[in-house]
Structure 1
Amino acid sequence: MPVGGRPTVRSRRLGTALKTYRLAAKMDQLQAAEVIAAHQTRVSRIETGHVSARPLEIRALLDAYGVHDVEVRQKLEELARQSKRRGWWLEHAAHLRPDYVDHIALEDDATYIREWQPVMVPGLLQTPAYAEAVIASSPHSIEPERAAQLVKVQAGRQAKIAEGGASYTAILWETVVAQPLVGVEIHEEQLTAILEIGKRKNVTIQVLPLSTGVLAGYSSAFSSFSFDEEPTVEAVTMDNLRGTSVLEGAEDLAAYANAYDLLRSAALAPDASAKLIRGVLRSLKEDTS
């Protein structure tokens, strides 16, 4: 069973892949259950992510579905093993919403992470002081102990990017850079950090200028994730008033991949974006001197 007794992002990804291959092979769940000598209910629960398939079951099912690609088979077996792995973030689970845990799990598995943020600095770029200020200004009352844990989790999330474990691209609307949501000193520190992080080989930061007009309203903030060598979008998360939604349907993924391409094409190049951020920093320092 997946860690925590509930479907995880990893177990759902595995189940979705197995269901896709089963349907392509034109087999129903009863036929699949016969392949692994189990009840149809087990196949159903595997495909919904409520239980993790064992490696022998995966091999037998893929044989029956006619899936012989070695890389695909290895990927799904590894996904099954990972679905039972306890993530570093679970030590903070008491302070985290289940949907936030899903988002972190996606980040932890991803090879490519792309974000669009029209309101505030993305969590993967936030300094501790910025994160604390954002949490403190939340409309929801957050206890000091939980707030401290959330800041720690933020730092844990950033470790993968700092270590080069994923290719990370962030597009920020110009207002995120030019209009401080927090104290000016904290904002200056944050902009300086963004410039430094942007120098990493695995990081690309672009600014969407105000001159693009309505394009910034094309979509609210979202993150997209890829899990293989190719940057094909395989999951998308969006924040809302109720928490974080994970989108995995083919049409949803295509729509958000297209949205990101439009935003990236209209955004300033990384060098020009860094120049704009440096200009904002100079203006802030001049205003406070």
Structure 2
Amino acid sequence: MHSLSCRLVWDGFRRRGEAPLPTGGRPTVRSRRLGAALRQYRQAAKLDQPQAAEIIASSQARISRIESGQATPRVIEVRLLLDAYGITDADVRAKLEELAKHSKNRGWWLEHAEHLRPDYVDHIALEDDATYIRQWQPALVPGLLQTPSYARAVITEGPDYIAPDEISRLVKVREGRQAKIEEGAATYAAILWEVVVAQPLVSVDIHREQLTAILEAAKRKNVTVQVLPFGAGALAVTTAGFSSFSFDSEPTVDAVAIENLRGTSVLEAPEDLAAYGNMFDVLRSAALAPEASMKLIRDILRSIKED
């Protein structure tokens, strides 16, 4: 089950009787996931949108908006559609009904949303909904592992000028993102290129604090951190950083986010998801085992203290 593109923009049109969109006028990740699942099951049942509309006594336009995440179906509508589509799996039905109940929820980051790029809000929403999060980072410590001092330093040194009060807000948002991992609400795996832990981009004190924080985070049962050694060569320099997300009890990749200079792109095509899922497995196989990775970080930390 794949989420629809996180780039959809609400057209401002809402028919009478439809559930309203969330505050901010943009579909949520939950509504897009629900819509994508209903579209997938409709197509598998070989029904078109007009036929689906008849099932819930509505219009083709409404079905289109539901399937794009721009309208929120009622639970009873979800049940009727799943009945017609032949979906009898109790777990699948319960999951989609939960999405229908909570699809308008915007999450803890709502209070910051007006100050954040829309694509960053979408990234946080994907992260917050995920049951499995995997990240490959060849340049920086991932945001989910950053200390406040490290986050402030790399944000400050970024290519764009950001006012001090906005930097504080962004640091607070990164701390909010980390709560899910700290609470054990998702299984998190990170692979870092050795340059990230061996060559500090920040002050020695901040780097030392950051390495210590990684060691502490890796002690959690739901967290795995591995280091890809320098010897991996081309594998590291030809693979840009990315995050993959799974939303079910199994770690199947449902969405991939790639950060670039101007924002975050979200991939959803099956071939893209398969490619990045495979790439993470390749990187994980080439990386040091978790225990060896932690030993490497401890050795680096010890050498920093001695210097």
TM-score class, shorter-chain normalisation, is over 0.9
2:222 equivalent to 1:183: no
The 3-state SS of whatever aligns with 1:124 is helix
The 3-state SS of whatever aligns with 2:40 is helix
Query: What letter corresponds to residue 21 of structure 2 in structure 1?
Result: P
Q: CA deviation at 1:110?
A: 1.1
Given the two structures, how large is their TM-score scaled by the length of structure 2?
A: 0.91
Taking the TM superposition and a 5 Å limit, the aligned residue runs for 1:266-281 are 266-281=286-301
The 3-state SS of whatever aligns with 1:237 is strand
Q: CA deviation at 1:197?
A: 0.6
The 3-state SS of whatever aligns with 2:143 is coil
Is the Cα–Cα contact under 8 Å of residues 28 and 106 in structure 2 kept in the other structure?
no
Q: Which residue is 2:157 aligned to?
A: 137
Q: Which residue is 1:286 aligned to?
A: 306
For structure 1, the 5+ residue unaligned runs are: none
Taking the TM superposition and a 5 Å limit, the aligned residue runs for 1:12-23 are 12-23=32-43
2:83 equivalent to 1:52: no
Q: CA deviation at 1:29?
A: 0.6
Query: What letter corresponds to residue 77 of structure 1 in structure 2?
Result: E
For structure 2, the 5+ residue unaligned runs are: 1-19
What RMSD, in angstroms, separates the aligned Cα atoms of the two structures?
1.0
Is the Cα–Cα contact under 8 Å of residues 95 and 150 in structure 1 kept in the other structure?
no
2:70 equivalent to 1:36: no
Percent identity (aligned): 70
Given the two structures, how large is their TM-score scaled by the length of structure 1?
A: 0.97
Q: Which residue is 1:253 aligned to?
A: 273
Q: CA deviation at 1:76?
A: 0.7
Measured in 1, the distance between the counterparts of 2:184 and 2:140 equals 23
Is the Cα–Cα contact under 8 Å of residues 72 and 100 in structure 2 kept in the other structure?
yes
Aligned pairs, number = 287
More helix by percentage: 1
Query: What letter corresponds to residue 287 of structure 2 in structure 1?
Result: A
Measured in 2, the distance between the counterparts of 1:86 and 1:265 equals 37
Query: What letter corresponds to residue 247 of structure 1 in structure 2?
Result: L
2:142 equivalent to 1:154: no
Q: CA deviation at 1:177?
A: 0.5
Q: CA deviation at 1:80?
A: 1.7
**4+ runs of 1 displaced by more than 2 Å?**
none
Q: Which residue is 1:108 aligned to?
A: 128
Is the Cα–Cα contact under 8 Å of residues 28 and 105 in structure 2 kept in the other structure?
no
1:2 paired residue among 12, 15, 21: 21
Query: What letter corresponds to residue 87 of structure 1 in structure 2?
Result: G
Taking the TM superposition and a 5 Å limit, the aligned residue runs for 1:199-238 are 199-238=219-258
